[in-house]
Amino acid sequence: MRACASSAKKKEKKNNHHSQGIGILVVFLILSLDQLSKFIVSRYLSADQSIPIIKNVLALTLVHNTGAAFGILKNQTLLFIAISLIALPAIYFNFKGKAAEEQGRLSRLALLLLISGAIGNLIDRIIWGYVIDFIDFHIWPVFNVADSAISIGAILLGYSLLKSKR
């Protein structure tokens, strides 16, 4: 019996390390895509310059956003940095905690997306004092890859929580 329990613990530990490795890779890839895209757009566009990609549908428009989503609470950079520095550890420990294991892969993916997006926008706020936004669908405020990760992560987490209550 003891050998089986020991073997099961070793297997669980190995799976946790594998899961953490994949998690780190997901965060790294999303964060890299976010920062690389912001770097490229910032290099070739000046603030508020726009280049149409699909006429009247999609453009690259460089916006320096000093606010939160939809530009609310402008010029509150220190507040957003503080919120991120509090939220990131909370999300991370939730990811590592038993609750995330019980919720399953969808919840873990949601938390990884939230972490990736929060770090991407935090980097901008710390370095530039604003978030670099550039994806412009004209019918929606201009956003970036990190914003997309946060939005998708929040939707997936909400869905996962609703699904688990059933």
Query: What is the set of active-site residues?
Result: 133, 147
Tell me how long the chain is: 166
Residues 6+ apart with CB under 8 A from 107: 99, 100, 156, 157, 160, 161, 164
CB of 30 within 8 A of CB of 149?
yes
> How crowded is residue 124: how many other Cβ atoms within 10 Å of its Cβ?
24
